[in-house]
Amino acid sequence: MTRHRHSAKSVTRRDYLEEGEALMDLVARTDGGSIERAASAAGSEAPGTRERRPRHTERFDVLVIGGGQAGLSTGYHLARRGLSFVILEAHDRIGNSWRQRWDSLRLFTPAKFDGLDGMRFPTPGSYFPTKDEMADYLEAYAARFDLPIRTGVRIERLWKHGGRFIADAGDRRYEAGQVVVAMSGYQRPRVPDFAGQLNPGIVQFHSFDYRNPGQLADGGVLLVGAGNSASEIARELAPHRPVFMSGRDTGHVPFRIEGFAGRHLLVRLVVRGLFHYVLTTSTPLGRKMRPHVLAHGGPLIRVKPKDLAAAGVVRLPRTAGVSDGCPVMEDGEVVDVANVIWCTGFDAGFSWIDLPIFDDEGLLRHERGIAAEPGLYFVGYPFLYSLSSTMIHGVGRDARHVADHIAAHASVRVAA
């Protein structure tokens, strides 16, 4: 972060501004409280016990929260429309959300579908990039278009006061007329409550924390869940230890994505055709599939059920609980293993958004990324408009749509 020097006069004025912002925060947090009570609370705290307040406020037309592919794509389209914005990224380096995934991960789509708007992926089109290559690409993309990014900024609260959005991050505060939350709905690993009942000697963690087989104890492993992550990890582990995978069959893409036909024809038909243009909120089929995808995820892409069977992976029913410290399946079978990897998905992790934008089931209320709260937008959210909305090649269309809406709204405000 760049530090700015101030004269004694400007520091004094800034102190008054900070006190006003702290008071505004207290008023917003006080249900039914008066300004007098808020002011009293602000002045009555003992030195050293006062709640931490933002010391410096920066103001922009637009805040983009998230510096992954969704945030960078949004920034690209906002820049082309001449808007003042900043991208706030929680990690210390662009691309780290990819670098921190398991070591052997490769993308499910060939490079010809892995570039963002304005910059192709720099490898042969039929090559399947590694997760580190994807991370480096995102970093290079941000540099090429000189996008304004602040790294190491984790937003703790997003709220609204006087028609303006306020994002608090430690001792920093960002204010804007419009905000884009540019991240997926997979922010917080989800583990069942009964995980705490497993025998303490069992090594257990979420697939989010899996990196390689060296993390596991000797002996068998149970993968709880049967989606893409579980299947990829199961196939990696199966040659070296007994592997069990519990959960229902999620279905699979009926061809080899890395075969000749897959790389040169079928991936395009499925990824760019079916996922991008057919399965959308504008089509009856897309609207029918959307609730299922949001609840259960998509089909297996690379690994097929017969691959798992050939590798010796034992399929089991859903994991229902724990018996005598061991995982128990819904049919009553107890599985004695040394390791458990929870491939049980993620929660949205949007508890920091202090705005009325979620329904009774906790789902985002929006229309193609335009949230129920005026001036708030989402990009990268699952099935935002289509099944491809969380995929590299799909975020650009959603980002462009949101940027158009932001620019039009900003024009109306200027004209007014």
Contact between residue 21 and residue 162 where contact means Cβ atoms under 8 Å apart = no
368-393 burial, b at 16+ Cβ within 10 Å, e below that, comes to bbbbebebbbbbbbbbbbbbbbbbbb
Length, in residues, of the chain: 416
Per the rule left: phi > 0, alpha: psi between -120 and 50, beta: everything else, 13 is alpha
Instruction: Please check the confidence at residue 214 and state whether its pLDDT lies above 50.
Output: yes
- What is the model's pLDDT at position 262? 84
Q: Which stretch of 28-37, 204-213, 298-307 has the lowest confidence by average pLDDT?
A: 28-37
d(CA 382, CA 84) in angstroms, rounded, equals 27
End-to-end CA distance of the chain: 35
Out of 195-204, 261-270, 298-307, 391-400, least confident range: 261-270
Residue 177's pLDDT band, with cuts at 50, 70 and 90, is: very high
Supply the pLDDT for residue 346: 86
Per-residue pLDDT tens over the stretch 77-120: 999 999 999 999 999 999 999 999 999 999 999 999 999 999 99
pLDDT digits over 126-141, tens only? 999 999 999 999 999 9
User: Distance (Å, rounded) from C-alpha 334 to C-alpha 328?
Assistant: 4
Cβ contacts of 85 within 8 Å, gap of 6 or more: 60, 61, 62, 63, 64, 75, 78, 79, 148, 176
Q: Is the pLDDT of residue 14 over 70?
A: no
pLDDT in tens, 277-336: 999 999 999 999 888 887 777 789 999 999 999 999 999 999 999 999 999 999 999 999
CA torsion angle 159 161 163 168 (round to 10): -40
Residue 53's pLDDT band (cuts 50, 70, 90): low
What residue ranges define each of the domains in the chain, with the CATH number in brackets?
8-39+48-53 (no CATH), 57-187+348-415 (3.50.50.60), 189-252+299-346 (3.50.50.60)
Backbone dihedral region for residue 48 (phi beyond 0: left; psi -120 to 50: alpha; all else: beta)? left
Of the candidate ranges 134-138, 347-351, 360-364, the one whose mean pLDDT is the lowest: 360-364
**In the structure, what pLDDT confidence band is assigned to residue 55 with cuts at 50, 70 and 90?**
low
